[in-house]
Amino acid sequence: MTYAAEEFLITTVARLLDDPLVRHVAVGAASPIPGAAALLTQAQTEGRLRVSIIHGSANNPFTDGGRELFDAAGQGRVDAFFLGGVQIDGQANINLVGTGEYPATERRFPGSFGSAYMYFVVPKVILFRPEHTRRVFVETVDFISAPGVSEPGVYRPGGPKALLTELCLMSFNSEVGRFRLESIHPGHSLEQVLDNTGFNIDLPDTVRTTAEPTEIELELLRTRIGAEIAKTYPAFGERVFGITQAA
């Protein structure tokens, strides 16, 4: 069975969302893989999952952008969300501001926006960063845009639950502030994961291989889901699924 790297990541994310506690997943801008995964999960669960993609208008229920999203999350009406970072460290701190000593950063990036807020209030935050290198996964981030753990006594119903990269899937234990390796993607090795991770991770007794996409998932992706995500991300839809939007 052949499939694109994007299709593999989409189906892996979709399985993380297939959770009875997840009723509404929101996806931020410039996130075609999480967006497609959410739509795939919605299709496979017969519409149980509500999907809000905060980009374009095809699957965006909000008329006032971030403010409505933040209101919904603060009221407990968003169950899953995705965050990434220029840097991510072993305590799941993320950096979206820049690299180098702040404020004289060597390189600046778009900024934190609502990441810290969403990290605290959304119960299931999935960290998604395809590039798995020591440049990204560092011992300590240069700037904390959003903290992965909080001091005792801090009210925090939300936080990171998983980290997905091009090499592997990890879970995060907020009580001890550490990542645990859950599975390694086909074609990659434990040595490759460890060599490209700048912090220590917990290892299981037996390292599993991440499940590959099924024929049913690929069929859905290449037809119904591909056509739907192409409405929001036309370049992605054309590149991955060969679906061209009508002019």
- Per domain, the residue ranges of the chain are 5-84+115-131+155-241
pLDDT tens digits for 189-201? 999 999 999 999 9
Q: How confident is the model at residue 247 (pLDDT cuts 50, 70, 90)?
A: low
What pLDDT sits at residue 29? Answer: 86
What pLDDT sits at residue 201? Answer: 98
Is residue 142's pLDDT more than 70?
yes
Separation CA 16–CA 13 (nearest Å)? 5
What pLDDT sits at residue 239? Answer: 96
Q: Degrees (nearest 5) of the Cα angle 153, 114, 173?
A: 45
Please compute the mean of the pLDDT values over residues 129-147 and round it to a whole number. Answer: 97
Range in 61-70, 72-81, 166-175, 233-242 the model is least confident about: 61-70
CATH 1.25.40.10 describes domain 5-84+115-131+155-241: no
What pLDDT sits at residue 216? Answer: 97
Query: Which helix (DSSP H) or strand (DSSP E) does residue 66 occupy?
Result: helix 66-74
